[in-house]
Structure 1
Amino acid sequence: MEHRVAVSWERQGAFSHEGFERRHSLSFQPEVTLPAGGAGNDYGADPEQLLAAAMASCHMQTFLALAAKKRLTVDFYYDDAEAVLGQKDDGKFWIETLILRPRVGFSGDKVPDDAAVVAMHNKAHEHCFVANSVISEVVIEPGFQAT
């Protein structure tokens, strides 16, 4: 199965080694376009944020699938994901750590305890396609619903 995205950029103003416009767009379907830019921009998502978003979204989808199979009722799922930039010994920059901070709320007759939620996050991480595709360290810091 292929997952495609169209990246579109056009020059605006000067283009040189001293700088150029970093704004561009990402189109996922004909009617779904996301504004994007370079790191630290005020226009749209930067590539590092998009990697954190991909990891968080994949983890969430996998977690929700596991919860559904267990016949649990999930009321909400929030994450405050972060991509941490590092520098390798050879001077190249990379995303060395992706941090997920999922907060999940359950209701119904079967509400899992904290240990069961941690186990579900661990299993979700093991089966997440994006997690299985990156060399960055992934740290999961789950939050728990007050009972």
Structure 2
Amino acid sequence: MPNHNYGLTVSWTGNRGTGTSSPRDYDRDHTVSAPDKPDLLASSDPSFRGDRARWNPEEMLVASLSSCHMLWFLGLAAAAGVVVTAYVDSPSGVMTELTDGSGQFVEVTLSPAVTVAESNMIGLAEKLHGPASAKCFIARSVNFPVRHCPTTVVAS
């Protein structure tokens, strides 16, 4: 069985000159980078003193689940003869913060709006979300439910 390795660099850029001398003396800003890709500017969630203009790890986790599901769905659709002409997801995640300051995701809901070429493709398209979820590497790796609320329409 092949292994796939994913290496990147996460560099903290939030030192204001005194490092982490106190919780309020540094920014949570960091950069995620990998060869031949644009940098991803990241921070913590604004609730945790982060910069709302940057991506936070929680958003990136939700985006990873959505992206993985979409890619599997599109591949399965193509293999099954379902012609998808548009796909837009509006995923959402719920993270619960615990009294000790830690937290964890308790669920993510994917809400893909799928457009197919012909009305006879709707039924099969809707059934493909199950296998896509079962095959998604990211969904298989998390310890909380990833729910699906898809809609399917025919291209006009």
Give your verdict on TM over 0.5. yes
- Please give the root-mean-square deviation of Cα atoms over the aligned residues, in Å: 2.1
Question: What amino acid is the match of 1:48?
Answer: E
**Contact 1:82 1:100 survives alignment (8 Å):** yes
Greater CA deviation, 36-45 or 88-97? 88-97
Uncovered stretches (5+) of structure 2, i.e. residues with no partner: none
CA displacement 1:58-88 (0-9 Å, x = unmatched) = 0000000101101222111111111211146
Cα distance between partner residues in 2 of 1:95 and 1:17: 28
User: Percent sequence identity over matched residues?
Assistant: 28
Uncovered stretches (5+) of structure 1, i.e. residues with no partner: none
**Which of 16, 23, 31 in structure 1 is aligned with 2:21?**
16
- For 1:124-139, what aligned pairs fall within 5 Å after superposition? 124-139=132-147
Q: With structure 2 as the length reference, what TM-score do the two structures score?
A: 0.82
Counterpart in 2 of 1:95? 105
Secondary structure of 2:34's counterpart equals: strand
Cα distance between partner residues in 1 of 2:100 and 2:27: 28
Question: What amino acid is the match of 1:23?
Answer: D
The 1:13/1:43 distance shift into structure 2, 3 A limit, reads farther
Cα distance between partner residues in 1 of 2:72 and 2:45: 28
Moved beyond 4 Å, runs of 4+? 87-91
Alpha-carbon distance, 1:98 to partner: 1.0
